Structure formats: structure tokens, C-alpha cells
A and B are shown apart, each in its own frame.
Chain A
């Protein structure tokens, strides 16, 4: 089952506008990650936010995390046509095997962002 659920499923904006995508999840997490996927390519990591963090920035990206509401948001400011892609949130189900900790991510279905020039 999918832990992360993104909203909206699709978002269409003009260049220069801000884009906000939301993610909700069901169980306690160790961290939450956002990834971008361009058409026909693999996923590229954007930001990782730990459960004890509330906000994180990276360039034009801002991620917030509200563990009480089990939700996160990704804000892309001053969007560009090159930001057109699918965006996924992924939650980390903590596991432990063979003496090595690992992250077993559960992905949402993604938000398709289209930025028009």
C-alpha cells in the first residue's frame, strides 16, 4: 500500500509562479524525502527532511513537515519551464537487517507539474 499521497495529482502554472505540492502519510516516519522525475528518466533526490525538522530550504525549494498532521509540502518558487516534471514524496519505514540500518522508502503516486513558458 502507498503511504504517501500527493495532492494535487496534476498542477499547471505559468513561468514565474509558485508551485505547491502536498503529501500526506499514515504512520510515524524517520524522514520524508522529495524526488523529481523527468519524463523517461530515473528519480532525482531533491530534499530530505528528518522527523525532528520542521522546514528545510534548498535554492528555490522549500519543504515543510508537520508530524502532528502527518503531512509535508514542497514549494517551488519562481518556477521555470525546466521544472516541468513529476514530483514524488517518499517516507522512510525504519528497518534493521544484518547489522546495517537501511531506508525502505514508500512512494506516493506523484504530482505532475507543468510549467508553461
Chain B
């Protein structure tokens, strides 16, 4: 069982470049989430997808876009990377609100 798989694991970008972070889950979960984790800040929700075909903004959506490609995959796109987006990004999925979220191991993103 792979669970939640994130790619890439590490990435270095220059300011202004774009990239897409990929996330896939094999647990048939309905809901998927993107978080960022910064030192001393805990995890903050960027975007979430309650079910296939729906997406909505979380706490810190500015500078990001998402696509729920199908039930398995949920991608996060940075259109024009900024140094403030240097962070560790986590994808998670869950069955429903009364079930735990399962996390990937994260993408460590540095923007110079």
C-alpha cells in the first residue's frame, strides 16, 4: 500500500518560475488537501477538494492553483514562484470528516 505519494520530494526554483506538485492516493478517499508547513507555524491549509470535481480555498490560497484531476490525483501549481513560498508542502487525503487524514512525506521546495 503506497498511501499518499507526492512528487517531487525536493525542488529548487528561481523566482518567477512555475511548477506543479503532484499528489496521488490509492485509498479511494473522497477528500484531498494541500498544506504548507513553515517553522513555528504548524500546518496551514492551502486548498482542498471535498470530492472529485470540487475545489475550494483554504487559509493561504494566494499564489497557488489546484486541479482535482480525478479521484486519485490532486495537483498544486505555483504559477510564478516567490521566495515566500519556500516551504514544505504536504498532501493529505481522507474518507470523510470523521476519519483521519493520511499524509504524504512532503515536497521540500526552495525558491531563490
Chain A residues with CB under 8 Å of chain B are 1-2, 4, 30-31, 33, 35, 40-45, 48, 50, 88, 90, 92, 94-95, 97-110
Contact = CB atoms under 8 A, between A and B. Distances in A.
Interface in B74-97: 90, 92, 94, 96-97
Contacts of B102: 45
B54 interface: yes
Interface string B19-58: 0000000000011010100001111110010110110101
7 contacts: A2-B42, A42-B106, A43-B103, A45-B101, A97-B56, A102-B31, A104-B45
A42 B98 contact: no
Contact of A109 (B42, B58, B101): B42
Contacts, number: 91
B51 A99 contact: yes
Q: Most chain-A Cβ atoms within 10 A of its Cβ — which of B4, B43, B53? A: B43
A88 B37 CA distance: 12
A109 B40 CA distance: 6
Interface of B: prevailing SS: loop
B101 A97 contact: no
Given A102-B30, A104-B33, 11 more contacts: A31-B98, A42-B104, A43-B103, A94-B97, A100-B54, A101-B50, A102-B48, A103-B98, A103-B101, A105-B33, A107-B42
Contacts of B41: 2, 109
Contact of A101 (B33, B43, B97): B97
